Amino acid sequence: MELLKHALLTTDKGLHGDCKGEKFPDRQLTILAVEDWKEAMRDIAGPDGPPQLPWTTRRANVLVQGMRLPRGLGSIIRIRDCMLKVMAQTTPCHLMEMAHAGLLSALSPNWRGGVTCKVLTGGAVSLNDSVTIMVEQPEFKVRLPA
């Protein structure tokens, strides 16, 4: 993982320089909220408090703060001039458990792992850019058969 102050989002590759965006066009960009990360850290806290894991442990592309990410498929998020469509909940993988015991389970509920997006309108983004929910669809919940 590499921390960037500036990045380019494109409709064909997602985050410029990330090999997965072109390969998986409906999963070009992942966004994590600081608040969800902190909540997950509290869930796996030990006697000495929450672990001091950096948010990059989650392997998300973008970190946002001060907002609840939409939990509805098809919701639209704007970062600066870029429009992103929420395609799915970001599902934590086994690498989370390798990073810290219990992290996979702590990131799984309530969309804490973030959202996976498709880039609809590309452009440059920078640290501290404004992030706005433009369209919020109803929350998507998986329903198991009765």
> Could you tell me the pLDDT band of residue 52, with boundaries at 50, 70 and 90?
very high
DSSP-based three-state secondary structure for 68? coil
Which amino acid does the sequence have at 11?
T
pLDDT at 144: 65
> Does 146 have pLDDT greater than 70?
no
Q: What is the mean pLDDT of residues 77-88?
A: 97
> Does 54 have pLDDT greater than 90?
yes
Q: What is the mean pLDDT of residues 109-130?
A: 96
Q: Which residue has the tokens 């704007």?
A: 78
DSSP-based three-state secondary structure for 127? coil
Taking the C-alpha atoms of residue 90 and residue 101, their distance in angstroms, rounded to an integer, is 19
> Could you tell me the pLDDT band of residue 139, with boundaries at 50, 70 and 90?
confident
